Amino acid sequence: MVPAATVPRLLGAGVWPRPLRPHLLQSATPGRARPGGRTLASAATPAVSEPEDSIDVSDKILSQPLKHSDFFNVKELFSVRSLFDARVHLGHKAGCRHRFMEPYIFGSRLGQDIIDLEQTAAHLQLALNFMAHVAYRKGIILFVGRNRQFSHLIETTARNCGEYAHTRYFKGGLLTNAPLLLGPMVRLPDLIIFLHTLNNVFEPHVAVRDAAKMHIPTVGVVDTNCNPCLITYPIPGNDDSPPSIHLFCRLFQTTINRAKQKRRQMEALYRLQGPEGLGARGQGLAASPSLGA
């Protein structure tokens, strides 16, 4: 059954301050925490003795993944064929088409728009990579989706990743008026992932605009009737078919878990090595990005 500690994280009207470590929220810097500062606070290892070494290690942990083009090897998780089999290429009818989705549409078959899967693959790779890096740096990820058919799936996906979900009615000032609605020292999400960009009345979800207001990057599955302008990393694809949403949820879950596991590996690696051998050995061992299958 669900452990009691994780229940308030998912249910309710978007209650997502982490209840497990409330003391950290007051002690850490308000709002966004520094990457170095957060690593120091959350690692909590007694092996971190001198501040210079630990800062050096944390910088290495954070800067190294950015040097590889595909550090988490997200390319292997999907292919154009697998996207096609999951019916990601099916769009809405031509009358529902949004003007800004036209570049991503391959053509129209008997009135139904077909999304260009080559572009989708490129966008998906960028989005998964970004998501993985955010999870690697211990960012808070919020899954948003207002389609009631997949509400439970999105919540279970978030639970399996160890992240947050909000698939209910989105209250007005949840992001823009967070100190009032959620409490004084609340850390806002570092990434919002939209499984459905529209709400139940086929209007753009409020969180898209609010995330842009609050400088929060977004990843979103945009269908042919959605507006992809404000979404940082849009993924043109079908958001109505069950196979398609199941595929996206599976991909997101795998990516985030992979990134977190990689982070644990890197931290363990540098902790084991200690102050010596940070240079060559670290580079050699960390150069293999793919995890054991």
Partner 1 sequence: MARSRLETVGSVFSRTRDLIRAGVLNEKPLWFDIYNAFPPLREPVFRRPRLRYGKAKAAIQDILYPEDRIRAFVEKYIELQKLGETDEEKLFVETGKALLAAGVILRRVEARTQKEGGHVSWESEPTGVKPQTVLEKNQPLQEVPQDQHLETSEEQPKGLSPP
Contact positions vs partner 1 (CB under 8 A): 29-35, 62-63, 66, 94, 97-100, 102, 105-110, 113-114, 122-123, 126, 129-130, 133-134, 137, 139, 176, 190-191, 209, 211-218, 227, 229-234
18 or 109: CB nearest partner 1: 109
Q: How many residues does the chain have?
A: 293
Minimum CB separation of residue 124 from partner 1 in Å reads: 11
Minimum CB separation of residue 197 from partner 1 in Å reads: 13
148 or 209: CB nearest partner 1: 209
Strand ranges (DSSP E) for the chain?
90-93, 105-109, 112-115, 141-144, 164-166, 191-194, 218-222, 233-236
66 or 291: CB nearest partner 1: 66
Minimum CB separation of residue 153 from partner 1 in Å reads: 26
**In sequence order, which residues have a C-beta less than 8 Å from that of residue 182 and are 6 or more positions away?**
14, 15, 17, 174
Instruction: Give the whole-angstrom CA distance, residue 135 versus residue 289.
Output: 16
Minimum CB separation of residue 151 from partner 1 in Å reads: 26
Output the six-digit token pair for 225. Answer: 């009737």
Minimum CB separation of residue 96 from partner 1 in Å reads: 12
Phi, psi of 254 (to 5 degrees): -60, -45
153 or 174: CB nearest partner 1: 174
Minimum CB separation of residue 54 from partner 1 in Å reads: 18
Instruction: Give the whole-angstrom CA distance, residue 222 versus residue 233.
Output: 10
Instruction: Give the whole-angstrom CA distance, residue 274 versus residue 268.
Output: 10
195 or 211: CB nearest partner 1: 211
78 or 233: CB nearest partner 1: 233
The interaxial angle of helices 242-273 and 51-67, nearest 10 deg, is 140
